[in-house]
Structure 1
Amino acid sequence: MNRSLLLLLLPLLGLAPKPGRLTPDSARLLTLRINGQSVQTDTISSRFYLGADRALRLNIVRADDPDGEGLTIIIDRFPIQAGTYSFQEILSGRNRDASYRYGSTAAYSKSCPDNPGSVTITGVNAARHWLMGTYRCQVCESGRGGKRLTLEGTFRYPVEKE
């Protein structure tokens, strides 16, 4: 009887679990900042794919352009483990690249003379098929005199087979 009364009072006291709150085991947390400014992401259209050839592709889509391409980061031969995967290693034979499209803006990491960027995986949940970590890259608009954009954010996101 006392236990039932306590369960009925929890919502009134504000101690009941809140719907929609992320738990440590849930996924679909995704942030994006462009040149330091927060941009809302579309967690329904955004996707993380792992191909049969172990290529990891992060596709982060803006909420104000759910049909657009947004930011795509590719890491070839991803070993599915925690670590930092840097774009400077493109010359080592692994393809690590980033591209960004929004409206008429098209920018690529390979368009920059210096293309620093990395994806840091801080957690892998193999049972639930999600990764946790951060990303940061610089991309340059195509064409002469293009702007340099710094895109960065955090994620805890499910990975789908491609």
Structure 2
Amino acid sequence: MSAPEVNFSDLSNKPLAVVGQVERSATRSVRIRRRGKDVQDLVLVTEERAAQVTEVVTATTRMFLALMEHDDVARTLATEVVPAAFPWVRFLPKEDVQAFVVELVETLAAAESLRNPAPVANLVAAWRHTAEVHADPALAEILQRDGEDLGPVPAPSEPE
């Protein structure tokens, strides 16, 4: 179920109509479309729905972490079922899948304590990129070659 969409100008020109859409929406949210390069859309959501989402994520994370801390079988099972949640792990070596699960659990615990999902999203993206390298044999071979360190990479120059 996706949220209804409105243009950013609707939010400033017809704010009551947009708020009405939020309140009538099944998701209790509206996507605010913004124009421009490198400009992200916004989501307007009721405070109650935001609190519900936070509560569900927190409860799910805490239950998962408790299972992982409580039971060796749960830890083994998590490693075995992680491909269902993250299909790209099939391209990782087995020891990397285990490292991903351990790092994911640790990051989930730390991020949940801050109530900030960004570290988890960053971790998943980094491991997905690692899987992309393993999925491409030519790229993996290039990156595994011995070579010399050429030092720090300079910052990119400003576009003209």
Classify the TM-score, shorter chain.
under 0.3
Give the TM-score normalised by structure 1: 0.24
Instruction: Tell me: higher relative CO, structure 1 or 2? Use CA pairs within 8 A at least 6 residues apart.
Output: 1
Give the TM-score normalised by structure 2: 0.24
Q: Considering fraction of residues, name the structure with more helix.
A: 2
From the CA coordinates, give the structure whose radius of gyration is larger. 2
Q: Considering fraction of residues, name the structure with more strand.
A: 1
